[in-house]
Amino acid sequence: MYRRCLLILILVFLLLLPACATLPRINDKRPNFLIILTDDQRYDTMSYDGVMPVTQATLFDQGATFTHAYDTSPLCSPSRANLLTGMYAHNDGVETDQSKLNYPNFIYTLHQNGYYTGLVGKYLNTWNGELRPEFDDWVSFFGGESRYINPELNDNGTWSTHQGYITDILGDYAVKFLDQAATQPRPFILYFAPNAPHQTATPDPVDADKLTNLPPWRPPSFNEPDVSTKPQWLQYKSLNAKEIAGVDKFRRYQLLTLMALDRTDAKIFDTMRRNGQLDNTMIIYLTDNALFWGEHRMTQKNSLYEESVHTPFAIRYPPLISKPVVENRLVSTIDIAPTILQLAGIPIPSNMDGLSMVNLFEGGPWRNVLLLEGWPPRGEYAAVHTERYVYAETTDDKSEFYDLQTNPYELGNQIDDPQYQTIIQQLRVQLHLLEAQKGAPPTLAPIWVPNLNPTVVPTPAP
């Protein structure tokens, strides 16, 4: 009889164990997390006056601003999978927008460890918009993009057409989640992923008449006149007048959609202040990838050039970042998952390629080289990026090298320049090591980087 009772008790315990993992912890003091992930936002859009002043003042000016933040796979689904898994794309298997993510993501881990979890906005291009088990609260749209006016949204299992502008609507749902989170005895994570400024980049009607005198964007790399030193994939025609006019219009529309997002961000920040959530929440602001405004004759993304991979990135969290700081070391989307897990007191899985930024802010060792990678339709490529140099290989095509200090617009391929051959060899070795990497490297020992052209003054951006 005793053995039978003991076996029954053990069985009941095992059956209840998964449910217990998600029970709220009374007076749980772990930090909250808010991730604001925009869609196709360029690094330089944060510098336009009047476009995102509240976001700039609240996050970038009060927290850490990263000057060397890069998406390791500059395409929607691969980049978002990088964020959710903390892994490079060659490890998590999401190489294109048609790929499905088969690895569990870190939000599921937080959910299993007592966090109140929510998503408002985009998940992955291959997802149908339905509720996922790692989220307590869910508002999303089908696939990779939604119309801006009167969007069709899935609100916790119910599809319906919502009247109005999508950024405002998603912002209202974010506020609703934050108010609900304020009543919870457990910490929260909100993954807020609006579709601004993704194409079609339809502005809010209230902004339609703004920025009408926006000067054209014409950096030296615009409609690059000579691409003879670049790989064969880039040897296509230059942009015609109609295409250039389309680029100018789209650039203005992207900035207008960011104006609307800034108003939504302000509403979110005000809600967090009212609820007492602002200073005990790590707020992370970034984008999935950037895209071209005519540089190198391109208007899309999925490329190793700066306009595609260099992205806005800021973190505000007073307990860790007590004063504003401009951080110049290399960070990426793959660093978000390990950072959040460490702050939540959860072990970082060994298969994560990213690094916890807690180590960066506390003065520990840090990387000085990052892998960038991409697949068709642009062509399969892999590159290593330091704070100054870029070395890239494209399958069955010409390799590339750029010194961003002397050639910030990447106008001419410097792969054959004699003065750089030593550093090119060093970076080639690093590239092949990173391509084989599975999990964070055991050492962060810096690579040897010669001091080339130390007296050269960087060319200012236009």
pLDDT digits (tens, 9 = 90+) for 202-260: 999 999 999 999 999 999 999 999 999 998 877 777 999 999 999 999 999 999 999 99
Determine the pLDDT at residue 271: 98
State both tokens at 221. Answer: 């790399």
* Residue that wins the pLDDT comparison between 303 and 18: 303
300 has pLDDT over 50: yes
pLDDT at residue 455, rounded to an integer? 33
Decide which of 444 and 129 is more confident.
Answer: 129
Determine the pLDDT at residue 449. Answer: 41
Phi, psi of 201 (to 5 degrees): 50, 50
pLDDT at 19: 43
**Residue 305 CB-density burial (10 A; 0-12 exposed, 13-18 middle, 19+ buried):** buried
Which long-range contacts link 412-419 to residues 24+ away (Cβ below 8 Å)?
412/226, 412/229, 413/229, 413/230, 415/229, 419/452, 419/453
Peptide bond into 197 cis (omega under 30): yes
State the pLDDT confidence band at 442, using cuts at 50, 70 and 90: low
**121 — phi, psi (to 5°)?**
120, -145
For the chain, give the mean pLDDT. 89
Long-range contacts of range 155-160, CB-CB < 8 Å, 24 or more positions apart? 156/131, 157/130, 157/131, 159/129
396-409: average pLDDT: 96
Number of residues that this document lists for the chain: 462
Q: What are phi and psi of 334, to 5 degrees?
A: -70, -10
pLDDT of residue 10: 43
DSSP 290-349: ---SSBTT--S--SSSHHHHB--EEEE-TTT--S-EEE-S-EEGGGHHHHHHHHTT-PPP
Of the candidates 117, 115, 60, 89, which has an alpha carbon nearest to the alpha carbon of residue 343? 115
* Structure tokens given for 112: 């299993």
Pull the structure tokens for residue 59.
């996050």
Decide if pLDDT at 49 tops 60. Answer: yes
- With bands split at pLDDT 50, 70 and 90, how would you rate the model's confidence at 41? very high
Rounded Cα distance, 167 and 165, in Å: 6
DSSP code for 458: P
Share of the chain above pLDDT 90, in %: 79
The yes-or-no verdict on residue 265 having pLDDT over 80 is yes
pLDDT band of residue 443 (cuts 50, 70, 90) is low
pLDDT of residue 445: 44
Give the residue-averaged pLDDT of 286-303: 94
Are 35 and 191 in contact by the 8 Å Cβ rule? The answer is yes
DSSP secondary structure code for residue 396 in this structure: T
User: In the chain, what are the domain boundaries?
Assistant: 29-362
In this predicted structure, the answer to whether residue 173 has a pLDDT above a threshold of 60 is: yes
Whole-angstrom Cα Rg for the chain = 23
Across 58-67, 376-385, 431-440, least confident range: 376-385
**What is the per-residue pLDDT for 111?**
97
pLDDT of residue 457: 29
pLDDT band at 3, cuts 50/70/90? Answer: low
CATH number for region 29-362:
3.40.720.10
Tokens 């807020």 appear where?
Answer: 192
Which ranges of 113-161 does DSSP label H, i.e. alpha helix?
none
- In this structure, what token pair is assigned to residue 231? 């790989």
- pLDDT surpasses 70 at 22: no
Lowest-confidence segment of 139-153, 255-269, 299-313, 446-460 by average pLDDT: 446-460
Task: Supply the DSSP symbol for 236.
Answer: S
Residue 149, phi then psi, degrees to nearest 5:
-105, 130
Count CB atoms within 10 A of the CB of residue 400.
22
- Among 126, 292, 286, 111, CA closest to 199: 292
Residue recorded with tokens 């970038």: 60
Percent of the chain at pLDDT above 70? 89
Indicate the helix (H) or strand (E) that contains 152.
strand 152-155
